[in-house]
């Protein structure tokens, strides 16, 4: 495994020795790992339950919000880094499937809250243990200490990615 990134590193080192091929390989491995986790582990499981990955993300975000398992559409699209249009489309699909409902916001008459239905809660409560088992298997190649190290490193990477970037002119 990881030979794709190693091969790309060598090819870039040969073609453009002035560039940092090691950092390119690292980024490539990270992107490949994320892609493989989604494609090989999450997508098939979500599909088994009639969900797209993005729909699973919405339902899981609502479930982890705690009772009453409701958020505003704005809070959802911000949490999932989606445009409001993409969120509306996902919510429409989930509502047609009976897993969410849109209710008037009790604190703001101009707004709605998206809430899991009992069927949505049941779906997530069935799917989540299977999802966690998949993640445990996916990360089975590294022990608990290494998983904590990876978590800490990825946390630092994301903090750096979220930091304000200097403007270039």
Structurally, the chain folds into a number of domains equal to 1
Query: 7 lies in a domain?
Result: no
According to DSSP, the residues that pair with 103 across neighbouring strands are 113
Query: 158 lies in a domain?
Result: no
Query: 9 lies in a domain?
Result: no
pLDDT at 169: 61
Query: 85 lies in a domain?
Result: yes
Q: Which domain holds residue 80?
A: 37-139
CB under 8 A, 24+ apart: contacts of 96-104:
97/50, 99/55, 99/59, 99/123, 100/58, 100/59, 100/62, 103/70
| CATH code of the domain covering residue 135 | 1.10.10.10
Give pTM, 2 decimals: 0.82
Radius of gyration of the chain (CA): 20
pLDDT tens per residue across span 98-118: 999 999 888 888 889 999 999
Query: 47 lies in a domain?
Result: yes
């Amino acid at each position: 495994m990881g030979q794709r990134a190693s091969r790309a590193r060598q090819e870039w080192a040969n073609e453009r020795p002035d560039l940092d091929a090691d950092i390119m390989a690292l980024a490539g491995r990270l992107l490949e790992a994320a892609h493989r986790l989604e494609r090989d582990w999450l997508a098939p499981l979500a599909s088994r339950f009639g969900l797209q990955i993005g729909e699973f993300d919405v339902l899981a975000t609502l479930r982890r919000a705690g009772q009453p398992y409701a958020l505003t559409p704005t809070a959802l699209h911000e949490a999932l880094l989606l445009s409001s249009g993409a969120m509306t489309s996902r919510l429409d699909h989930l509502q047609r499937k009976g897993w969410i409902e849109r209710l008037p916001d009790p604190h703001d008459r101009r707004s709605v809250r998206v809430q899991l239905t009992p069927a949505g809660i049941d779906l997530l409560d069935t799917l989540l243990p299977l999802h966690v088992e998949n993640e445990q298997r996916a990360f089975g190649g590294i022990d608990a200490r290494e998983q904590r190290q990876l978590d800490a490193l990825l946390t630092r990477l994301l903090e750096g990615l979220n930091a304000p970037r200097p403007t270039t002119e």
